[in-house]
Amino acid sequence: QKEVEQNSGPLSVPEGAIASLNCTYSDRGSQSFFWYRQYSGKSPELIMSIYSNGEKEDGRFTAQLNKASQYVSLLIRDSQPSDSATYLCAVLNYGQNFVFGPGTRLSVLP
């Protein structure tokens, strides 16, 4: 079983819609969770971090964490074509390593 799993996509949504990205992880000792955005040919950039159960909102982005279900999600409201990228879920595990999922490719259609 992979440590961090994501649907590879591509996920296509129309402009203005809500994009929903999901991630599951296997290490129950994980304490910190992150969403990174990566444009083609570029390095990842941090969008959100979340450390406790519940929701965290930052502008059009909302991260949700459910440690009991070992599940993290990212919602993007009012999706824009500039949001088209690969979204990487990352988990800081017990060994103090950041483990990444394979990423979900999002395409926002004008």
Partner 1 sequence: DGGITQSPKYLFRKEGQNVTLSCEQNLNHDAMYWYRQDPGQGLRLIYYSQIVNDFQKGDIAEGYSVSREKKESFPLTVTSAQKNPTAFYLCASSSRVLTFGSGTRLTVV
In the bound state with partner 1, the residue whose beta carbon lies nearer, of 74 and 90, is: 90
Quick check: 101 binds partner 1 (CB under 8 A)? yes
Instruction: Work out how close the CB of 96 gets to partner 1 at its nearest, in angstroms, rounded to a whole number.
Output: 7
Cα(11)–Cα(42) distance, rounded to whole angstroms?
Answer: 20
Quick check: 102 binds partner 1 (CB under 8 A)? yes
In the bound state with partner 1, the residue whose beta carbon lies nearer, of 15 and 39, is: 39
Structure tokens at 106: 């999002």
In the bound state with partner 1, the residue whose beta carbon lies nearer, of 57 and 78, is: 57
**Long-range contact list for 66-73, CB < 8 A, 24+ apart?**
67/28, 69/24, 70/24, 70/25, 70/26, 70/28, 71/22, 71/23, 71/24, 72/22, 72/23, 72/24, 72/25, 72/33, 72/35, 73/20, 73/21, 73/22, 73/23
Cα(79)–Cα(87) distance, rounded to whole angstroms?
Answer: 14
Quick check: 100 binds partner 1 (CB under 8 A)? yes
Choose, by CB under 8 A, the member of 39, 59, 97, 109 that binds partner 1: 97
| Touching partner 1, residues 30-59 (CB under 8 A) | 32, 34, 36, 42-46, 49
| Residues forming the site for partner 1 (CB under 8 A) | 4, 32, 34, 36, 42-46, 49, 88, 90, 96-103
